[in-house]
Structures are given as C-alpha cells and as structure tokens.
Structure 1
C-alpha cells in the first residue's frame, strides 16, 4: 500500500460511471487507459508501456515485464462526469483480477486488436461480462498497424461473440495511412495529427468515403428506430432521426444489451480517445441504471445513498504498511470510523480510513456513498467477495449477502522450500498475505513429503508470486518444477457403512456413519447433504461428518489428488450417549468416505487446455502434427491475414515448455495462447505413472 496520500476530499460529480478496460493480452488496454488519463487532464505526460513509465502499471514486475498483473483503479473527469476506471490484466493467469473487477463495475470498454480481432482471452472476458450483465462499448484499436482490418474485426464480433455490433464510426485511411474516423451519428470526419494533446479537427466526410458512410449510417439508423415505435413510424414516413434521438436510442440499446457500439482508433497514435470518452459518458450506465438481468430481475440492491449500507469487498492488498480493502458501495453511506458487519462471516470490523484510489496514490475521503469504489483501511478479516453492511439490529436480524465472486480452481502446482530457518518462520505469514490478495492461489502441505505446495492458474502467475515472496516479503525460497494439478473423481454411486469404535481405558470413541457417494457433472464441485432421519445422528455431529468428508476428499483415493464433482449424502448412523464426540464422527466420516470412494470406480482427471496457435501458413502442417503428438485434438483452423489460426485442445501435461519448441518449429514466427477448458479422464498410462509416483 503506497502511503503517498492527499487529504483533500474530491467532490463527486453529478454523473458517475464505473467502468473496466478489458481485452486479450497486448491489445492495448493499458495504453488506452494512459491516454484517457492524459486527455482528461489527470496526467500531464503520456505514459508508455514500452518505456516502463505508465501510471496504471506501477508494480515493478509489471514495468519489467511490460504486462498488467494487477487490476488498478483511478478516477478521471470528463464533460462533467466522474469516471472510475479499472485497468485489468489480459493474461489468462491473472483472470481473477478481471473477474472480481467486472463483478463490481457498471460497464466495460472492450479493447480489440485491429489486426488479431477477437482473441481467446477477449472471449473469456466477454463471457464474464455477460455473466454480470454489463453493458459494453467496443474499441477497435491499433488500426495504424500493418494488417489491421476494421470490417473483419466487426464481423468476428458478430460470429464469435454472438452480438450485434453497432458501428458508430468508420476509419479514414488504413494501416499507416489511418488518420481519423467518420462519426456516423453526426455524419462528419474527425481527424488527428497523432501528436498527443493536439485538438481533433472536424471536417466534412471525404468524397471517396461518402457512399460507404451513407451505407453504414443507414444500418445504424435502422437498428435504432427498431427499438422505438414512434421513431420507426416517422422514419418510414421519410423523417430522419436527429443526432439527439440517435444518441438516446444508442444508450437504450446499449443498456438493454440489444447491441454493442463499436468505435475505432489507435490509442498509441493518440487517435480516437476523445470520442471514446464521449461514448463512455453518453452510452454506459450510471450506478443502479442497468442492474437487471435478462429476465428483468434486480441483480443488485437499489442504488440509494440514503438506504441501509450494502457494500462488496472485491480486492485486498497487503504490504508492510498494512491491509487495504477495496469495496464497491451499492447502497447507503460509509464514513471513516464506522463499524460494519461482515454478513459473510458474522464478524464486525471498524473502518479507520477511506481512500479514493489513483493507481498507487490515494486521496483521503471523509465518506463514500452508493456507486462509489474506494479503499478501506482497518479491516483485518474481510476477504474478497464478502459483504459489508451496517451493524444495526435490523442488519443482524436480516443479513444481506451479495452474490459472491467465483474463484477458479488452480491447474498447476510448484513445491516451494525456504532456504534458511529465518525464511521458514516468515514463509507462512507471507503466503497467507499473498493468498489473501489473490484467492486464485492455493497453499497446502503435501501429506507424504511435507513440502509446501503452491497452486495457481499458470506458470506465469506462480513465477510472479514467487518473485513477490522474494522481493516484497524478503523470503528466499527454492522452487521445484511446475507440476500439473490433477484431480480425482468417481464414476458410479456407492454406499458404505462404517463403525468407528475405540476403547482405551478412559472415555471411548463411538460413531457409526452410512454414507452414499454419487458422481456429479464436471465442474459441479463437492456437495454434502444430510438425509438421516429420526435422530440417528444428533444435529451437532452432522457438521463433523461433513468436515471429515471434505478433509478426506482433499487427499483423494487413487493418487493423492483432491477428489471433486461428487455428492456425499449422510444416510444413517448411530451414536453413543457417553462415547460419541465430534472427533469420533469426523474420523468415522474420513474412513467411510475413503471406502465408499474406492468402491465408486474412482479415476484421475487432468486439465485440458484450449490452445490457439497463430502460425505462418508454411508451418501449419508442422504445428498441427506437433499438437497431435502432444495428445491434442485440433478443432478447427482459419486464415488470419497472411497467417493461420489453429484451435486445439491439449492436456496441460503436454504443454510445458511449448513456447520454446514452437519457436524452433517456426523460426520464431508463431505465437500461442491457452486457457483451461475442462477436466477430462487421464489415460491409463498417465494414471499408472501418477500412482507409481
């Protein structure tokens, strides 16, 4: 937590927008955000990713690697509106940052690479935005690059994302001749010199583009008047809608998810940023304005600043100065010094200070209210996804719990070992802080080796985490080779009764449990149900049975990997008035689970990745052949400019070190991206290898 603070309390603008900038890695999110900071006057110089001097990527690792690792928030003002902006990572390993950011935002700007178009992580982030019902704008960036193709990207949006892209602008010039856009709402040309800070020039549409502009203008008008019977009737009678009517229609359709407005530009060349800001204010929602799902049901509390407090903690940052908790306030007000109730845990905590965040700088606030995103200092036990409310009797009597943030399961492990005794003492504390910050990380002790196992979403995430251990927490650790995070599951139902009975002179142990295990669909996780009746097992012992089941599931029964996607149902049991205890029932549950799982035809699961390889066409055959040798299945291929795109599914086990092999295979000209697609049964040879190990 940077202690560079400003104690003044900025006034909140009449209009408020909470937006995220999302995209595939290297599409230009951070560059776009840096230009937003410059053109709104928040920054007086332009930060560049390649120069390592950006405002939003302030972490030393971000600047060294040239990528965004952590989501970063800032506040800017444009045309009388306050815009809270969160710049998110594009790499799949850090997708938890996108997920928890989108959970608390009201809208998003999706940045597309004008050459690559809709890339895999763009699709993933788009689906996340769908999940949270976020209205979006599309900004097709990098139109100055060789191979940029604006209409192709628009069509890719339609085909791959299943949306109606509403083209609001058409580029003037292509590749290195790109110099401006046609504003199809106002029917005018907007031209830029490319020099940061020089004003946009408004000119008539070039003669050679008038006919094309008229075609796209007609499509725009038709899409808008279809939403409004009065406009439609007037249009059919030959009355063209005004620019004001068009903008109102664009806003209605955007908030309803009918279409996605599409804008054009090149953030790096300072072209198209001001119209993008105009569109954010004009077309994206204010807090509470679009909190409805597709069925019309409210997805959030009403954004009433005078109502009872409802806030969601979505990020925790811990460093030498303490803990800072980022929250979105959905209803009510929160003041420094207030005591809040964490309805997810039932605990109360006191807020000592409030901050408005500007990347690594913080401006102290006296209070925040519905719609605000801010950071709190003083909360020690609040975690990502937990709900904060007031601490009154009504809050306790009817606790509100907002929708949680889904945390993905890790797919890759590394063993870490402290170098010295001093490192050993600091390691546990440091790992606790890192897992609190990034809930997509997991830490466990290997039962056999005693090693500390760190699990995450990919090699890059684990590499970054280990570097944080060394640089930020000053813990020197050795790191083992990355390993696949296998899982186990069952394939049929089984029911077992187990009696746990011990007598050793003193109080005995007695617990009898009948448990039924049944497989669930992939991705369903672990469920526990109590179907015992007639007091066969007293209610106070049922949580112990569940705890035993979950503890045993963590160790698996085939090769020691966590067992997932099953339902455990407590059917029956017996107890002894004197010898039964919580411990006895937990031990009985562990034993009965292991026996039932062995009888339920268990199997090992391995993570299978969705892999996209972009390669020159002359190397296409070599790339496909190599993927097949890695147990991959090619789902399709398509041309992209002068290259070919291969869409495949490959087990993660076969993808370690792939980038080096791919470069050697294609003379360094190919690239790839991958993300977890699903878990599938591992082949018998892989299972045998794991069991033997």
Structure 2
C-alpha cells in the first residue's frame, strides 16, 4: 500500500475533501498593463456581492483604490506591482482569485502566482489587442498546461472589430477562440451581448460611474431585434460566421489548452462580469492532483500539503509581520496544525493562519485543496517551499527569472546598520529582488539583481518606509548573468567586464557587461561551462 493510500476509516473524510475541492475555482487574471485587470478583479468581487461599491484605481485625489491594489506605490501610480489573493463565495462555489502585476518588471511575481492556479483569465484591451506582456504570459500558461479564458475588455470604448481580434489571437498565438458571448454594438457603443449558447440577448444598463453592479435584462431571441435593431442582426450574422468556422465552444480543447472561450466586457461599467463569473463556475477546472518533484501526482484526498508561492510584508503598518501565501494542494488544513517544512524537516506551527482579501485579513479555521491560506509570522518560509502533514512530499521549486538589471545597495544612515541587514534579508526572502554578494564588495554593499528597474524602486521605497533604513542605489554596467561552477569563479573574476557574485541560495553567478561580451568569452573559452538561469518564459 502506497503512502498516499487511505485507510477505510479515512473514507468519509476523503469524500469531504474531494467534495470541497470540486467546489473550488482557483485562477489568476493576467494582462498587459492598463488592460483593466485590477478593475475587473474589483468588478468580480462586486458582482459576487462581497463588496458593495467598486473603486477607481487611477490614484487621483478623492478617488478610492481597488481592494487588490493596496500598496502606497500602487495607489500613487495606478498600477499593480504585487500579486493579491481574494477569496469569496459565488453560487455553490468558492472563488480563489489571484490578481497579478501587469507590468513586465514584475513578471517574476506573476510567474509565481501562475504556479498556484488551475486556470487563467487573459484580459485583452479591445483597442490594443495582444500586447507583449500578454504574449509572454500566454506562453507561461501554455507551458504549464493552464486553460485560458479570454476576456475582451473596454468594449465601451472605441476599438477594433471583434472578428479582427479573434483572427489576431488565433494567428499570433495559435489559440482557437470560441466566443461564448458576442457584442451587440460596435466597440464604443456597447449595448449588451448575445449569449451564443442560449441564443438570447443580454442588455446592460449603465449605473452612475460604474460603481455598482449593472442591471441586466435577458431578452429572448425573437424579441431581440426589436430591442437592439440592426446591431442584433449584425451580431447574429457574425455568430453564424463563427459557427461555420468551427469557433463554437469545445470543452475538450479548452481543457487541453488548444482553444479559449471568449467573453466581451466593460469592467469599468460592470458589463459582462456576471457572465464571466458563471463561466468560471461552469467551465474552469477544479483542483486536481499536483505533481511532486519526482513526477508523482499527489491526489487531493491525500494528507495535507501545500506550497508557498509568495511572501509579502508591509500589509499592515501596525504589524511588522510577513504573510506567506500557500496554495493548498491536498487534504484538509486546520488552524493550529503542526506541519513539517519539507526543506528543513522542522515543524511549522499554523496558529496564526489567516484568510486574505486584498489587504484585509481575518482568522482562518480551515481550508481545502485550491484555497490560498495566509501564514503570518512566516520568517522561515520562502517562495517554493513545501509544507506537509504525515506523508512527506516536496513540490517542484519555483524557477527564478534571469536578471537583466543590477545595482549596488548601500545604507545612507550608518546608525541603521542592523535594520539595513534585516531589510536586505527580508527583500531577498520575499523575492522582491535577487540579492547577490561577494567578499570583494562586503556585506554592506550587496548587489540587487532584477528583471526590471521598477523592482529597484519598490525595494528602495520599502527599505525607507517599512524597514526604516533608507538606501542609495548605484547602477552596475552589467546586462546578463550566467551560473558558473565554483572551481571556475577565480578565473572568471579576472576577466574584463565580468564579475562573480553569490546568490543567497549559494548559486554563483557571473555577470557580463553585454550579451556580446558573453558570446566572445564563450567562443574563446569553450572549456568553461556557463549555464543559463531558468526563465519562466522559456518553459
């Protein structure tokens, strides 16, 4: 009998776990910046009736920020720079929604989130179509086998033709689009949508500022022409063209990632949001077995296990604690459980488990596969760590992106030496930046390595406001990093325009000034083996 086999006495509890897992829908919203991702997140929570009024996110005086954008820098800039978990009930299901940063500089944070979800909502601006960051994130989803629901947003504004957008998605990323709703009215004149499966017309009514849920009227097909005129007739004709082209929804190709159901929305006006929630409940996969580091699937009814995909501090200015976000993979979680940290073998007590809704936190008593739990005071946890009870398991580590920007960090207040050291360690543990060190530079001059320069801004802001140890950053003239074996490190340090530093996990990296300098070195020194860092986009 294998370790994961349940005894007869466990049958009843296993059935409960399976039933609870079947109710979960855990997904991420991904997009290019400014596609309306945080606005959509807010609209979903509004339509699920867990908030009463949606907020604007543009950072203007007197305007409310969304529940998912709570950091001061997010409010000021009007963009998401950190991922956020929101859990709420809808119909008979429990929604675990993970909002992600849209900006490319925070791709690493988004990738961590994508390791913890069962589906993704790909949000596309109706005027701009597919954009670079959207393409990159699609490739990550494709590699991980994550089914994608496509949402064409901002249909209330002038934009491209709906059929043109469908063609672009198919041609550029090879994903067959199978629209479930179709717009009635061109982009900029959004009256409602045709429900292509039921054939009726869903007419939306605007509310003041889009702050409350938009009323809907469901009109039978035989009365839709009188209600919408030629716009309905155009929608019917285009829907028929889609059917002739084989673009009707197919559950099998959706699950395998070959096709994507499409919906049309205006998140700012709360148009089409109910339809998206219903599609998530009806079509998105529920949690299933997660494959461990040895390639063995762990069934959801196995003893409890979870993996940490994010560590976040600064959520509450009155408490200096850190929250580790963990995705429940199997079994039942109960607050107070003593778990095992797979990396160290040491016990981890979950007395301070919490349910997280944006910045808001509340005590969590239990959780099931697919849920995201917040573990407070989690100083020993890092992204990629596994926790388990009873039956050991280790889930695959979360790969790091290859950094392209490097800066030396120095404290500007000598009296804050202790805070400086703790703050650098905290940023490293959370994955805000990668921290590199060398004997030559010393402990007081660690090197920050990042995918994008905005990560430096976040690190600098947090060191000053949360840690109380302001830092100055000095840019370094490096653009590319490779892993180098320790025995070759001394030789590499003698090279022109190169420097060897050690990451906090012990991996030694050599930094080169340009990709051409790297190519020249490899050509002249074929016996020195340099390895690429694992990048999420590579799969």
For Structure 1 versus Structure 2, the TM-score category normalised by the shorter chain is 0.7 to 0.9
- State how far apart, in whole Å, the 2-side matches of 1:488 and 1:219 are: 47
2:431 is aligned, of 413, 432, 438, to 438
Larger Rg: 1
1:328 and 2:321 are equivalent in the alignment: no
CA distance, structure 1, for counterparts of residue 113 and residue 201 of structure 2: 35
Find the aligned partners of 2:44 and 2:492 in 1 and give their Cα distance.
Answer: 47
Deviations 1:634-661 (A, max 9, x none): xxxxxxxxxxxxxxxxx9xxxxxxxxxx
| CA separation of 1:250 and 1:403: change in aligned 2, threshold 3 A | same
Unaligned segments of structure 1, at least 5 residues: 1-10, 225-245, 490-524, 529-547, 565-589, 591-601, 609-650, 652-678, 685-693
Partner of 1:243: none
Contact 2:335–2:351 (CA under 8 A) maintained in structure 1: yes
Q: 1:130 to 1:281 in 2, by over 3 A?
A: same
Specify whether residues 274 and 381 from structure 1 end up closer, same or farther in structure 2 by C-alpha distance, changes over 3 A only: same
Mapped to 2, the partners of 1:172 and 1:86 lie a distance apart of 30
Change in Cα spacing, 1:470 to 1:313, as seen in structure 2 (3 Å) is same
- 1:36 CA displacement: 0.7
Per the TM alignment, residue 276 of structure 1 is displaced from its structure 2 partner at its CA by 0.9
Residue 216 in 1 paired to residue 239 in 2? yes
Cα distance, 1:62 vs structure 2? 0.4
Equivalent in 420, 424, 448 of residue 427 of structure 1: 420
**Corresponding residue number in structure 1 for 2:94:** 82
Task: Tell me, in whole angstroms, the C-alpha distance in 1 between the residues paired with 2:383 and 2:423.
Answer: 18
- Identify the residue that residue 307 of structure 2 maps to in structure 1: 312
Asked if 1:42 is matched to 2:50, the reply is: yes
Give 5+ residue unaligned stretches, structure 2.
1-18, 503-507, 524-539
d(CA) in 2 for partners of 1:14, 1:448: 53
Question: Does the alignment pair 1:389 with 2:382?
Answer: no
The change in CA–CA distance for 1:299 and 1:46 in structure 2 (over 3 A counts) is farther
In structure 2, the residue corresponding to 1:32 is in which secondary structure? Answer: helix
In 1, distance between residues paired with 2:132 and 2:409?
A: 31
1:270 corresponds to: 270
Change (3 A) 1:213 1:563: farther
2:57/2:78 contact within 8 Å kept: yes
Q: Deviations over 1:615-641 (max 9, x none)?
A: xxxxxxxxxxxxxxxxxxxxxxxxxxx
Structure-2 residue corresponding to 1:303: 300
Would the aligned equivalents of 1:157 and 1:163 in 2 still touch at CA under 8 Å? Answer: yes
Residue 17 (structure 1) aligns with: 25
For the 8 Å contact 1:487–1:563, the answer to whether it is kept is no
Decide which of 197, 203, 223 is 2:213's aligned counterpart: 197
- Residue number in structure 2 paired with 1:472: 466
C-alpha RMSD over aligned residues: 3.3
CA distance in 2, matches of 1:385, 1:550: 29
| Residue 495 of structure 2, aligned match among 557, 564, 571 | 557
Aligned-pair CA distance for 1:159: 1.5
For the structure 1 residues 52 and 64, does the alpha-carbon distance in structure 2 shift closer, same or farther, using more than 3 Å as the test? farther
**Does residue 606 of structure 1 match 2:504?**
no
Match of 1:255 in 2: 255
Q: Equivalent residues in 2 for 1:99-114 (5 A)?
A: 99-114=111-126
1:451 partnered with 2:457: no
Contact 2:291 2:298 in 1 (8 A): no
**Alignment length, in residue pairs?**
479
Deviations along 1:282-316, whole A, 9 cap, x unmatched?
11011118x699xxx98742211xx2222111111
User: Counterparts of 1:437 and 1:362 in 2: how far apart (Å)?
Assistant: 19
Cα distance between partner residues in 2 of 1:347 and 1:283: 40
TM-score in terms of structure 2 length: 0.81
